[in-house]
Amino acid sequence: MIPEEFVAEVTQRLDIADVVGAYVNLRKQGRNLIGLCPFHNEKTPSFSVSQEKQIFYCFGCHKGGNALKFLMAIEGLTFPEAVEKAAAMVGLEVPQEQISPQENAAMQRRKRYFKLMAEAAAWYQQCLWQRGAAAKAYLQGRELNAELAKSFQLGYADGWDGSVRYLLNKGYELTEIEEAGLASTGGKNGFFDKFHHRLIFPIIDYRGQVVAFGGRIIGDGQPKYLNSPETKYFHKSQNLYGLFQAAPSIRRSDEAVLMEGYMDVLTAHQFGVDNAVASLGTAFNEEHAKLLKRYTTKVLLVYDGDSAGMNAADKAIDILHNNGFAVRLLTLPDDLDPDDFLKRFGKPVWDKLVQEQAADFWQYRLNKSLRAHDTTVVTGKVAVMQELRPYLNSCEDAVELESVIALLSKAIGVAPETIYSELRPKRPVQVLQKKILRPQAGKMPSQNAGQAAPIDRKQANLLLFMLYDKDIFEKTLAELGENFVESPPLQELLGLVQNIKSKYNWQPASLFSYLNEGAAYQLLLRMVQVDLSNSDLPGLAAGCINAIKIERLQQQVESKRRQLTEQTSLGADNTVVLLQEIADLEKQIRTLRSVS
């Protein structure tokens, strides 16, 4: 178990804007930062980061928490792994002796995997530059210079088992090397390098860690390209080739260029198209889109010009459009791929072609449909309309829809009103607006539909004030006792602070680190959305304390009145005592109301 004091120190030193900003494009809006949520698809930003409160929250999918919870969610880390990563960000080391054996073992396995991959990459690089004449000749033939090859850490597996023997000598077990996808059983030594006699393309994740490899055969052999299998720490759909190298340029230009192959990306970077990336031997998918969205919402799609490339581009452009990207597609002439085009014509011609011929999503879809059908005849017009209807029906922006229908109307010679009549025949066109409800100071946001057990607003507000101020916390418990909150989520939050009070920094955001994502977690998420001023807290808390006291007294009055009714009906003689008790209670209520 990581000591709570260490967790508190890490969270105290972290700035959530720096943590989230490494994954999401954020911009200032009022007191907060906003961006597109990395946890669900959206076109209008509903994801908010508060540096003041050190929390993130999405008003769309309702995911939120502090910096540690963000790291856990965005990278799929366990809590100890998130603490370790966050600690490294602020120059601290997790005290290992405090971690459970299971947590420590998991962390050590993860570290060992990435160290193994780094050692393998270093070996392959050494082989390329010291003994890889054939591989260097291949690079020269592809017109790739040494500086670029080194920046992408290219390497070469020069024999059948050199890398495996090297890693064994470094202290790794053969099973580890196999599980990492670097070795196979067989051969005269019982094992061999899975990438033997191949030019090596290290797959570097967005953090700069080598997570896998791709290999291109040098000489005869099949398959031509070979990629690492998926492992516990490597998933093709969560990585893009060249992303680590391209990330600064993507952020600077606010656009990524998406290509198909390793060589396309390498040549693009050498020619100055240094925001180019590619998927890893698999079709571009939803996970790739989510990864790219951390850096930009604009993509130029440049796949190979042959039929296979265009079919892949056709699928990718839909995925990007559906995930909220402003996507353009560039079709290269003569079935060329980006590698061949850039080497044949150079970057100035590339830039000119992009500027003049890159088609946005709607231009591409319309042009493709018009090429496929003869719109001089009715059947052709109908066919175009049928192809585009699903895309038009999914368009949620009224201005965008009107503009596209105007283009379509002109292209097929059908009035815009007629096209509108073909859309959503059973319901009118609507503009979907995502409204962000901002809670007013001193009031807790309402609960979502379907959430359990109503929360007493006075109790929740008072607990919120207590979470910010130790004096209010102590004063409340002294005046109301520990059982003043009734609902289980409020009780859990109060109990948590009592348990960690000596280490608590009186910043509610730090409490997310101790909670699982249950009712108490969700309640805290809603509570911390409230904007509060520290100077107002004592007065607000005093008002809540008085209100709760008055409520308790009123409950006692009601109980006494019920007793009085019963005693009167029975002809009992203690009614005078009850009347006096009621009068005393009502006097206390009046006194409290006079000071509230």
Q: Are residues 594 and 461 in the same domain?
A: yes
Please tell me the predicted confidence (pLDDT) of residue 6.
Answer: 87
Q: What is the CATH number of the domain that holds 172?
A: 3.90.980.10
Distances from the Cα of 67 to the Cα of 77, 306, 522, angstroms:
12, 45, 16
Q: Are residues 332 and 416 in the same domain?
A: no
Please tell me the predicted confidence (pLDDT) of residue 331.
Answer: 93
> Which of the 8 DSSP states describes residue 274?
T
Please tell me the predicted confidence (pLDDT) of residue 436.
Answer: 30
Is position 403 within any domain?
yes
Which tokens hold the place of 365?
A: 């879809």
Q: What is the CATH number of the domain that holds 295?
A: 3.40.1360.10
Q: Are residues 15 and 78 in the same domain?
A: yes
- With b for 16 or more beta-carbon neighbours within 10 A and e for fewer, the 133-152 pattern comes to eebbebbeeeebeeeebeeb
Please tell me the predicted confidence (pLDDT) of residue 3.
Answer: 80
Q: Are residues 584 and 505 in the same domain?
A: yes
Please tell me the predicted confidence (pLDDT) of residue 262.
Answer: 96
Q: Is the dihedral of CA 480, 486, 491, 493 positive or negative?
A: negative
Please tell me the predicted confidence (pLDDT) of residue 443.
Answer: 40
Last residue of a domain, one of 234, 253, 287: 234
10-30 per-position pLDDT tens digit: 988 899 999 999 888 899 999
Please tell me the predicted confidence (pLDDT) of residue 198.
Answer: 96
pTM of this prediction exceeds 0.85 = no
Q: Are residues 174 and 269 in the same domain?
A: no
Please tell me the predicted confidence (pLDDT) of residue 41.
Answer: 79
Please tell me the predicted confidence (pLDDT) of residue 384.
Answer: 96
Q: Are residues 523 and 386 in the same domain?
A: no
Q: Are residues 460 and 407 in the same domain?
A: no
Count Cβ atoms within 10 A of the Cβ of residue 223 and give its class: 0-12 exposed, 13-18 middle, 19 or more buried.
exposed
Last residue of a domain, one of 79, 99, 119: 99
Count Cβ atoms within 10 A of the Cβ of residue 131 and give its class: 0-12 exposed, 13-18 middle, 19 or more buried.
middle
Please tell me the predicted confidence (pLDDT) of residue 578.
Answer: 84
- With b for 16 or more beta-carbon neighbours within 10 A and e for fewer, the 294-312 pattern comes to bbbbbbbbbbbbeeebeeb
Which string of DSSP letters, residue by residue, matches 313-366? HHHHHHHHHHTT-EEEE-PPGGG--HHHHHHHH-HHHHHHHHHHH-EEHHHHHH
325-365 per-position pLDDT tens digit: 999 999 999 989 999 999 999 999 999 999 999 999 999 99
Q: Are residues 107 and 15 in the same domain?
A: no
Q: What is the CATH number of the domain that holds 576?
A: 1.10.860
Is position 328 within any domain?
yes
Cis peptide before 223 (omega within 30 of 0): yes
Q: What is the CATH number of the domain that holds 55?
A: 3.90.580.10
Q: Are residues 137 and 196 in the same domain?
A: yes
Is position 448 within any domain?
no
Three-state secondary-structure class, residue 148: helix
Please tell me the predicted confidence (pLDDT) of residue 67.
Answer: 95
Angstrom distance (rounded) from CA 156 to CA 129 = 8
CA 404 and chain centroid, separation: 31
Which tokens hold the place of 391?
A: 């895309």
**240 contacts 119 by C-beta, under 8 angstroms:** no
For the chain, the domain total comes to 5
Please tell me the predicted confidence (pLDDT) of residue 96.
Answer: 66
Last residue of a domain, one of 99, 120, 150: 99
Angstrom distance (rounded) from CA 540 to CA 596 = 10
Q: Which structural domain range is residue 225 located in?
A: 102-234
Q: How many helices and strands, by DSSP H and E, does the chain display?
A: 25, 16
Q: Are residues 461 and 539 in the same domain?
A: yes
Is position 437 within any domain?
no
Please tell me the predicted confidence (pLDDT) of residue 554.
Answer: 92
Q: Are residues 109 and 89 in the same domain?
A: no
Q: Spell out, as residue ranges, where the chain has pLDDT lower than 70.
A: 1, 96-99, 424-453, 571-573, 596
Q: Are residues 247 and 322 in the same domain?
A: yes
